[in-house]
């Protein structure tokens, strides 16, 4: 078998049609939009917005959101075509397998493991931090002892060493078990969370608008300089590259529609529901992001988000610059916990479905493709992910992983855009309920936008990405290539 052997389209479509042996089809278009919003509105909105403003763009972080949204929209149009044409679990991995061959599919599948697992663990760690904020400032109880909510590599200012981040592990375990129970039940819980946190975001925009200080938006695009943060890491601040850097930083928050596409095989009518879920969730969240970013940067100056308002930035800004709205700060704390929970839920869902698809192809051990006899979910994959992501969340500091999730996602999006062009050439007869307009212009622009944002993330993240992919290549030749279901195929 060659390295570029492609998985035939007819096999993919046969898998999608085999509903009795496959995953349950329980998700509607509305549920998919909620899943996308669940992944998008969370850590990005409540954490990365202030981060990008402080380190990269100041008030023009809103322009960074627009750049990121344009890149996402271009890639989203390509995702919508592929998801409606090949309604099977696996997202970019599956699309790449059908268009570019097995080696590239493995690379993108390995990349998606990094995207979802590291992303879920990182948000789990942030969830643990905000749980303590809830205990102290909302419930007025004692905080969890430092050693039981931090990793062994962390120490407090008083010299207390961490042992294990129990809350971070607990939330990962709880949501993993919920996914085993069933995707429909998980989607229902996620829908309740989405309604709650979207309502809170709208309240912040409405009430915060009257407290905007125009001086904080002047100049809207700061002059190009270099900002060195507390970890002695340099960032391009202001000007063109500051905006591009902000776009790459907040891009972490836009991966929701990627997670939506991983659930294609569990969707009732994927040919129409997938485009609605992907583009609908992106449109709703982009509008909320731009308005929220404008309000947040108008409340406080950039220096505030670099110092006193660096952590729990949204709550700190409300308490500092919106007198009389302390109650809103408490609601935000609750919304952040709920928001982080739904982000972790969707990332764990996406990770398990990528595992499921790769195991069905033989590239990962077959056990990961085993479905629960009652719930019809890939429960063994969920349990393996629980251990991996839970261990990372419990024992590794959150700041170890910076923008790796963003650069991995952008890499995946680039290949999806290329996949649309290839599939139009190789399988022009394939039914397409949704067609990306202006091919190949839109896919090419999508690739350029993604590469531009990757360039804004700096060389250290490129180095980490290549290191992770190198490990994946070793595993592919040691195990996956030998066990692939297509090893005797002559399809190229």
Mean pLDDT of the chain: 83
Instruction: Of 160-174, 246-260, 276-290, give the range with the top mean pLDDT.
Output: 160-174
Residue 16 binned pLDDT confidence (cut-offs 50, 70, 90):
low
* Mean pLDDT lowest among 16-25, 39-48, 112-121, 408-417: 16-25
pTM of the shown model = 0.80
Question: Which CATH number characterizes residue 271's domain?
Answer: 1.20.1740.10
pLDDT at position 247 is 93
pLDDT at position 20 is 41
355 part of a folded domain: yes
In the predicted model, is pLDDT for residue 118 greater than 90? no
* Mean pLDDT lowest among 87-91, 103-107, 349-353, 358-362: 87-91
Residue 4 or 365, more confident: 365
Percent with pLDDT over 70 in the chain: 86
Average pLDDT value for residue range 270-284: 78
In the predicted model, is pLDDT for residue 250 greater than 90? no
In the predicted model, is pLDDT for residue 193 greater than 50? yes
pLDDT by residue (tens digit) across 414-424? 988 998 998 89
pLDDT by residue (tens digit) across 129-175? 889 878 988 888 988 998 998 889 877 777 888 899 999 999 999 99
pLDDT by residue (tens digit) across 332-386? 888 788 778 877 887 888 788 788 888 988 999 988 888 888 877 788 888 998 9
489 part of a folded domain: no
7 part of a folded domain: no
In the predicted model, is pLDDT for residue 448 greater than 90? yes
86 part of a folded domain: yes
396 part of a folded domain: yes
Residue 22 or 475, more confident: 475
In the predicted model, is pLDDT for residue 13 greater than 50? yes
HEC letters along the chain: CCCCCCCCHHHHHHHHHCCCCCCCCCECHHHHHHHHHHHHCCHHHHHHHHHHHHHHHHHHHHHHHHHHHHHHHHHHHHHHHHHHHCCCCCCHHHHHHHHCCHHHHHHHHHHHHHHHHHHHHHHHHHHHHHHHHHHHHHCCCCCCCHHHECCCCCECCCCCECCCEHHHHHHHHHHHHHHHHCHHHHHHHHHHHHHHHHHHHHHHHHHHHCCCCHHHHCCCCCCCEEEECCCCCEEEECHHHHHHHHHHHHHHHHCHHHHHHCCHHHECCHHHHHHHHHHHHHHHHHHHHHHHHHHHHHHCCHHHHHCCCCCCHHHHHHHHHCCCCHHHHHHHHHHHHHHHHHHHHHHHHHHHHHHHHHHHCCCCCHHHHCCCCCCCCCHHHHHHHHHHHHHHHHHCCHHHCCCHHHHHHHHHHHHHHHHHHHHHHHCCCCCCCCCCCCCCHHHHHHHHHHHHHHHCCCHHHHHHHHHHHHHHHHHHHHHHHHHCCCCCCCCC
Residue 93 or 88, more confident: 93
pLDDT at position 474 is 95
Residue 62 binned pLDDT confidence (cut-offs 50, 70, 90):
very high
pLDDT at position 165 is 93
pLDDT at position 155 is 78
Domain containing 295 equals 24-223+232-483
pLDDT at position 225 is 95
19 part of a folded domain: no
In the predicted model, is pLDDT for residue 91 greater than 70? no
In the predicted model, is pLDDT for residue 190 greater than 70? no
103 part of a folded domain: yes
353 part of a folded domain: yes
Average pLDDT value for residue range 31-53: 77
pLDDT at position 122 is 81
How many domains, the chain? 1
């Amino acid at each position: 078998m060659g390295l570029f052997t492609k998985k035939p389209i007819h096999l993919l479509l046969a898998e999608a049609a085999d509903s009795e042996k496959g995953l349950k089809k329980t998700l509607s278009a509305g549920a998919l939009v909620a899943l996308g919003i669940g992944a998008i509105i969370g850590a990005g909105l409540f954490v990365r917005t202030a981060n990008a403003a402080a380190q990269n763009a100041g008030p023009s972080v809103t322009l960074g959101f627009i750049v990121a949204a344009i890149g996402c929209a271009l890639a989203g149009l390509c995702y919508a075509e592929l998801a409606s044409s090949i309604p099977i679990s696996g997202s970019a991995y599956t699309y790449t397998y059908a268009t570019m061959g097995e080696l590239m599919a493995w690379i993108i599948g390995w990349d998606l493991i990094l995207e979802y697992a590291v992303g879920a663990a990182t948000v789990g760690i942030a969830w643990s931090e905000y749980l303590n904020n809830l205990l102290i400032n909302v419930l007025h109880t004692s905080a969890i002892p430092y050693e039981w909510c931090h990793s062994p590599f962390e120490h407090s200012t008083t010299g207390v060493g961490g042992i294990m981040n129990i809350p971070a592990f607990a939330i990962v375990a709880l949501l993993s078990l919920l996914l085993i129970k069933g995707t429909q039940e998980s989607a229902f819980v996620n829908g309740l969370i989405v309604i709650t946190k979207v309502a809170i975001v709208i309240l912040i925009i409405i009430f915060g608008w009257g407290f905007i200080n125009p001086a904080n938006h002047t100049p809207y695009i700061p002059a190009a300089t270099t900002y060195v943060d507390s970890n002695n890491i340099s960032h391009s601040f202001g000007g063109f590259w500051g905006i591009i850097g902000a776009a790459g930083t907040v891009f972490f928050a836009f991966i929701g529609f990627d997670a939506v596409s991983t659930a294609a095989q569990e969707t009732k009518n994927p040919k129409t529901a997938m485009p609605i879920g992907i583009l609908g969730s992106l449109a709703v969240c982009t509008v909320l992001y731009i308005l929220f970013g404008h309000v947040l940067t108008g409340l406080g100056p950039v220096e505030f988000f670099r110092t006193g308002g660096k952590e729990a930035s949204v709550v700190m800004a409300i308490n500092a610059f919106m007198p009389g709205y302390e109650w809103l700060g408490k609601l935000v704390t609750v919304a952040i916990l709920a928001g982080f929970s739904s982000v972790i839920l969707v990332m764990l869902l996406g990770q398990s479905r990528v595992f499921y698809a790769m195991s069905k192809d033989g590239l990962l051990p077959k056990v990961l493709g085993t479905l629960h006899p009652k719930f019809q979910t890939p429960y063994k994959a969920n349990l393996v992910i629980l251990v991996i992501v839970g261990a990372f969340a419990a024992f590794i500091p959150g700041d170890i992983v910076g923008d790796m999730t963003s650069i991995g996602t952008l890499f995946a999006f680039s290949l999806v855009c290329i996949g649309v062009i290839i599939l139009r050439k190789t399988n022009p007869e394939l039914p397409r309920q949704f067609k990306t307009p202006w091919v190949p212009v839109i896919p090419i622009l999508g690739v350029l936008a993604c590469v531009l944002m990757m360039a804004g993330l700096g060389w250290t993240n490129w180095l980490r990405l290549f290191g992770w992919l190198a490990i994946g290549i070793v595993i592919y030749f040691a195990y996956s290539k030998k066990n692939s279901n297509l090893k005797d195929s002559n399809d190229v």
